Amino acid sequence: MSSQNLLVELFVEELPPKVLKTLGEAFAQSLGLSLKTQGLCSDASVVTPYASPRRLAAHVTTVSARAADKAMMQKLMPVAVGLDAAGNATPALLKKLIALGADASVVPQLRRQSEGKSGDGKAEALYFDSMARGATLTEGLQKALEAALAALPIPKVMSYQLADGWSTVNFVRPAHGLVALHGADVVPISVLGLRAGRETHGHRFEASVDPIVLKDADGYAQQLADEGAVIASFAARRVEIARQLAAAAARDGANLKPIEDEALLDEVTALVERPNVLIGQFEAAYLEVPQECLILTMKANQKYFPLLDSAGKLTNKFLIVSNIRPADASAVIGGNERVVRPRLADAKFFFDQDRKKSLADRIPGLEKVVYHNRLGTQGKRSRRVADIARDIGHRLGGEVLARQTEQAALLSKADLLTDMVGEFPELQGIMGRYYALHDGEPAEIAVAIEDHYKPRFAGDSLPRGRVSIVVALADKLETLVGLFGIDQVPTGDKDPFALRRHALGIIRMLIEGDIDLELDQCIRYAERPFKGLAGESYAALVEFIFDRLTNLLREQGYSAQEVDAVVSLRPQRLGDIPKRLAAVRAFAMLPEAISLAAANKRIGNILRKVEGYVVAIVDVALLKEPAETALNAALMQVKPQAEAAFAHGDYTASLQSLAALKTPVDNFFNEVMVNVEDPQLRANRLGLLATLHQAMNQVADLSRLST
């Protein structure tokens, strides 16, 4: 059966640039998967996606003109229903066979197969063996293309009329051409009112031929490049843009480099078909504006790549990714420079106007900005954050740190009322730092205003300095406590207030900063401005934070057993958790670890079954058996060592000292009956086990290491 390479292209009006990469990959993957499912190509076939502003395409290698026939065994009906007493076909069986395109002549060839265990024939059924005809490429590709279009992750579809003036179709953008080539042959399929052919279109202005008549599937990309001035592959176009950006920056001779922004590079790749990188510049006077403002306006509004010097400072030059290659590019460069100037002028105007009013003078205005209808305004929120920050600051650094953190917290939201942040919400905090410095605020307070939003995302840097850390903790704690208090908790994949991110931020700051704060105390500080939380809300918030902690630690490479052993104890000082995990990992390598973990699990089960609370006290006079006397003696020697090491934060030494207990613990369980009839002996032995349990589970719950 002949196999050739296949090309499918849908030519459309300009596609949404932010989703073009996703659309191209989804289109090709879905098309290839459907063809494989139908047997028209194999797992060895290679699917190559193509996506440009005006096309989605896929190239699939080794596609058959017709899928192989497939043997089928179809269940008809029970033997007792299909055959009479003489073994002849019943009317019901004949009717079923006719529906399948067969007749009574196949009855002797029908297969009998038992469906039960009785063997009496009543559980047997009749099966019809046949060959299912393999789909032709036309049939299979039609089905695959329709499925691929239906499965595209389109944010919003358009409805538009076809050329006949009557029919209406829905797609992300109006489609104007369809190509389907199997080798050099057109596959006669249709979709969205279009019939497949071999004609497509290149660049709007620079194609040398229009339309482009494709010769075969394999020459698609090269022919589009040669005749259509289009780089059809998204990946190849992206690489070419990155190359040109680096080359253009190097040509300037000032050791400049374009700003790194993967999302911007993807978006620009989706906007051009024939990239041509040019250098533009603006007046150096605009560099007086904070570079974050200039960079953002150039990237967000104009899709330019600002150029930075070797120190990472913005220059007055930028890179333009043009879609045309004129012999004289001066007009293109000049046009882009004229366009960017008003944007930069607006940024300078906002910056100049904002500095006429201090952040402190803007604080009263926060009372008019609603934060949440049940939690009040941004003004009330800022005061709550300031109260929490003052408590934490006083705990960590006394009155000086308390005053600094309170002041930074009160100013932290004031830049929300500035024109610059109103135009560019992404700059909140960043502009607050600039304006605070302009107002004469100390540097640590200005930095805290910027950093209190950190970490903003996974992998983001942490706040810098103690003031910043405290205000960031206070801000995130206030958000969590407040929203949990009004039952606005994340559900499933919905987290409108980014509470998971806030919890992870608190966890990272406490752990990576090794801050001497207990989680319980942090939450209690945050409760005070809210007049306390209900018990259920507090418990739910604690569980939520420890769930995030568990997930984070597992993502960092710790095993489920290691994480469960540590986190199950709910350690309040999160900064100790890395040391606890390291201690557990080292303990698990000891030859005594498996036995002690199993014994610890057994002890826990015994103590849980006891009614009431078991007091961890041992009366030496009641120790009757040699094994229990030996265990108590070993415990009296090991327990102080383990506790002393624990108190000094040497968790590894604390756990490893327990190795000496293996033999006496094993002997105890082999030779001593715990639940004896004598209530005094039983209580004393339970007290011995409770004492042992406490000594073993200070660093981690070792029973979690037992498989």
CA 188 – CA 181 distance, rounded (Å): 9
Residue that terminates a domain, selected from 334, 354, 374:
354
Measured from the Cβ of residue 500, the count of other Cβ atoms closer than 10 Å reads 14
Whether residue 84 has pLDDT greater than 90: no
Mean pLDDT of 526-545: 84
**Residue 1: predicted pLDDT:** 47
**Residue 579: predicted pLDDT:** 95
Whether residue 551 has pLDDT greater than 80: yes
For residue 178, being part of any structural domain is answered with yes
Residue that terminates a domain, selected from 301, 336, 354:
354
Domain span holding position 243: 234-354
For residue 224, being part of any structural domain is answered with yes
Both tokens assigned to 562: 């290691």
Cβ contact 230:274 at 8 Å = yes
CA 79 – CA 116 distance, rounded (Å): 13
Q: Give the number of domains in the chain.
A: 5
Q: Which of 657, 506, 538, 543 is nearest to 593 (CA)?
A: 657
**In whole angstroms, how far apart are CA 46 and each of 7, 62, 120, 236?**
12, 8, 52, 17
Whether residue 284 has pLDDT greater than 60: yes
The CATH number for 373's domain is 1.10.3210
Read off the DSSP letter of residue 67.
P
Tell me the range of 63-77, 80-94, 364-378 where mean pLDDT is highest.
364-378
Question: Are 167 and 31 within one domain?
Answer: yes
Amino acid (1-letter code) at residue 572: Q
Cβ contact 576:516 at 8 Å = no
Question: Are 168 and 187 within one domain?
Answer: yes
Measured from the Cβ of residue 203, the count of other Cβ atoms closer than 10 Å reads 22
pLDDT above 70 as % of the chain: 97
* Confidence band for 531, pLDDT divided at 50, 70 and 90: confident
Per-residue model confidence as pLDDT tens digits over 462-486: 999 999 999 999 999 999 999 999 9
**Residue 480: predicted pLDDT:** 95
Question: Are 126 and 146 within one domain?
Answer: no
Mean pLDDT of 295-316: 93
For residue 458, being part of any structural domain is answered with yes
Least confident of 129-138, 208-217, 229-238, 589-598: 129-138
**Residue 106: predicted pLDDT:** 78
Task: Give the distance from CA 417 to its chain's centroid.
Answer: 32
Question: Are 495 and 529 within one domain?
Answer: yes
Per-residue model confidence as pLDDT tens digits over 11-24: 999 999 999 999 99
**Residue 28: predicted pLDDT:** 95
Question: Are 654 and 681 within one domain?
Answer: yes
**Residue 157: predicted pLDDT:** 86
Cβ contact 582:654 at 8 Å = no
Q: Which residue has the tokens 């990469």?
A: 21
**Residue 706: predicted pLDDT:** 82
* Confidence band for 452, pLDDT divided at 50, 70 and 90: very high
Give the N- to C-terminal CA distance of the chain in Å, as an integer.
55
Helices (H) and strands (E) in the chain, counts: 25, 20
Question: Are 496 and 413 within one domain?
Answer: yes
**Residue 512: predicted pLDDT:** 94
Least confident of 55-64, 148-157, 240-249, 630-639: 148-157
Q: Which residue has the tokens 């395409």?
A: 57
DSSP calls for 179-243: EEEETTEEP--EETTEE-BSEE---TTT-SSSSEE---STTHHHHHHHHH-----HHHHHHHHHH
Give SS3 for 440.
coil
CA atoms within 13 A on the CB side of 271: 17
For residue 570, being part of any structural domain is answered with no
Read off the DSSP letter of residue 702.
G
For residue 572, being part of any structural domain is answered with no
Is the CA virtual torsion 344, 350, 355, 356 positive or negative? positive
Give SS3 for 76.
strand
Helix axes 443-451, 378-411, angle to 10 degrees: 140
Cβ contact 475:385 at 8 Å = yes
Amino acid (1-letter code) at residue 21: K
CA atoms within 13 A on the CB side of 3: 14
* Confidence band for 534, pLDDT divided at 50, 70 and 90: low
Question: Are 186 and 297 within one domain?
Answer: no
Helix H or strand E encompassing 178: strand 175-182
**Residue 116: predicted pLDDT:** 56
* Confidence band for 122, pLDDT divided at 50, 70 and 90: low
Q: Which residue has the tokens 């009785």?
A: 118
Residue that terminates a domain, selected from 308, 330, 354:
354
Mean pLDDT, the chain, integer: 91
Per-residue model confidence as pLDDT tens digits over 389-427: 999 999 999 999 999 999 999 999 999 999 999 999 999
Q: Which of 10, 33, 42 is nearest to 144 (CA)?
A: 33
Helix axes 535-555, 519-527, angle to 10 degrees: 140
* Confidence band for 535, pLDDT divided at 50, 70 and 90: low
DSSP calls for 154-169: -SS-EEEE-TTSS-EE
Which residues make Cβ contacts (< 8 Å) with residue 564, sequence separation at least 6? 550, 701, 704
CA 375 – CA 367 distance, rounded (Å): 12
For residue 652, being part of any structural domain is answered with yes
Asked whether the bond before 571 is cis by omega within 30 degrees of 0, the reply is: no
Cβ contact 543:487 at 8 Å = no
Q: Read off φ and ψ for residue 128, nearest 5 degrees.
A: -110, 120
Which residues make Cβ contacts (< 8 Å) with residue 453, sequence separation at least 6? 428, 429, 472, 475
For residue 584, being part of any structural domain is answered with yes
Sheet of strand 276-281, all strands in order from the earlier edge strand to the far edge: 257-258, 305-308, 314-322, 276-281
Both tokens assigned to 146: 């329709």
**Residue 118: predicted pLDDT:** 45
Question: Are 98 and 35 within one domain?
Answer: no
Q: Read off φ and ψ for residue 49, nearest 5 degrees.
A: -85, 150
Question: Are 81 and 212 within one domain?
Answer: no
For residue 428, being part of any structural domain is answered with yes
Which three-class secondary structure string do you get for 316-339?
EEEEEEECCCCCCCHHHHHHHHHH
Least confident of 79-88, 326-335, 434-443, 478-487: 79-88
Is the CA virtual torsion 12, 13, 19, 20 positive or negative? positive
Question: Are 530 and 583 within one domain?
Answer: no
Extract the runs of DSSP E, i.e. beta strands, from 368-507.
370-372, 376-377
Question: Are 590 and 604 within one domain?
Answer: yes
The CATH number for 156's domain is 3.30.70
Task: Give the distance from CA 70 to its chain's centroid.
Answer: 42
Question: Are 660 and 602 within one domain?
Answer: yes
The CATH number for 653's domain is 1.10.730.10
Least confident of 224-233, 251-260, 358-367, 527-536: 527-536
Whether residue 330 has pLDDT greater than 50: yes
Helix axes 535-555, 499-512, angle to 10 degrees: 70
CA 40 – CA 399 distance, rounded (Å): 76
